[in-house]
């Protein structure tokens, strides 16, 4: 059984988080939920009403983290999932999280990123020269650090598996699980 980190914070997107949370366990692996502190976090859900130009955010479920970023021992983990939502905008400045992301990327472990999760990878400095996808409003975050944005449901580049939004979860997790189970 492999241990996989699932990164969250307040305002993490519900479907970006819960789909991988259950999918990874379905294959017999252990999911360790990590947040800035070991506590309960508030998830949100996003949808775009037909009469809106932007996404609407509403309250979702809650999820408790198993571990705080500062307590992560990166060598214990076989991979990492970076959820979207607004959480990455804030947690991307956490040095302990960035240390963990850099370690797992350097070791070639599977890294999954969806939606705003790309902001964590950009801040960690690990996507220069990589092909990625993300929600269109985060395209700049990827390109400004030297990544190539592709508007595709899923983009795989080496150990990195990126998706645009929760609408692509089934394709995203299929590719991540393929890497994880190799």
Please report the pLDDT score of residue 57 as a whole number: 87
* Confidence bin at 56 (pLDDT 50/70/90): confident
Q: Which fold has domain 3-181?
A: Rossmann fold (3.40.50)
Could you give the CA distance from residue 55 to residue 47 in angstroms, rounded to a whole number? 5
Average the pLDDT over each of 46-60, 66-80, 167-181 and give the range with the smallest value: 46-60
Mean pLDDT of 88-117: 98
Contact indicator for 142, 127 with CB cutoff of 8 Å:
yes
Whether 116 is catalytic is: yes
Please report the pLDDT score of residue 53 as a whole number: 86
Could you give the CA distance from residue 144 to residue 147 in angstroms, rounded to a whole number? 7
Ordered alpha helix ranges (H), 59-131: 87-91, 95-106, 118-124
Please report the pLDDT score of residue 55 as a whole number: 85
Residue ranges of the domains in the chain? 3-181
Mean pLDDT of 112-139: 98
Task: State the catalytic residue, choosing from 29, 46, 62, 116.
Answer: 116
Please report the pLDDT score of residue 61 as a whole number: 95
Dihedral-angle region of residue 6 (phi above 0 means left; psi in -120 to 50 means alpha; beta otherwise) = beta
Does the pLDDT of residue 156 top 90, yes or no?
A: yes
């Amino acid at each position: 059984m492999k241990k996989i980190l699932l990164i969250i914070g307040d305002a993490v997107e519900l479907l970006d988080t819960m789909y991988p949370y259950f999918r990874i366990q379905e294959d017999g692996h252990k999911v360790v939920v990590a947040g800035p502190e070991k506590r309960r976090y508030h998830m949100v859900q996003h949808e775009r009403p037909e009469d809106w130009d932007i996404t609407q955010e509403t309250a979702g479920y809650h999820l408790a983290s198993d571990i705080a970023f500062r307590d992560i021992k990166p060598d214990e983990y076989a991979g990492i999932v970076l959820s979207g939502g607004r959480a990455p905008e804030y947690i991307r400045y956490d040095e302990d999280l960035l240390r963990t992301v850099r370690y797992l990327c350097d070791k070639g472990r599977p890294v999954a990123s969806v939606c705003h999760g790309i902001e964590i990878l950009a801040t960690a400095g690990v996507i220069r020269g990589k092909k990625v996808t993300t929600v269109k409003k985060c395209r700049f975050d990827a390109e400004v650090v030297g990544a190539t944005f592709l508007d595709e449901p899923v983009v795989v580049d080496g150990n990195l598996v990126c998706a645009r939004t929760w609408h692509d979860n089934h394709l995203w997790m299929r590719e991540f699980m393929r890497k994880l189970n190799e």
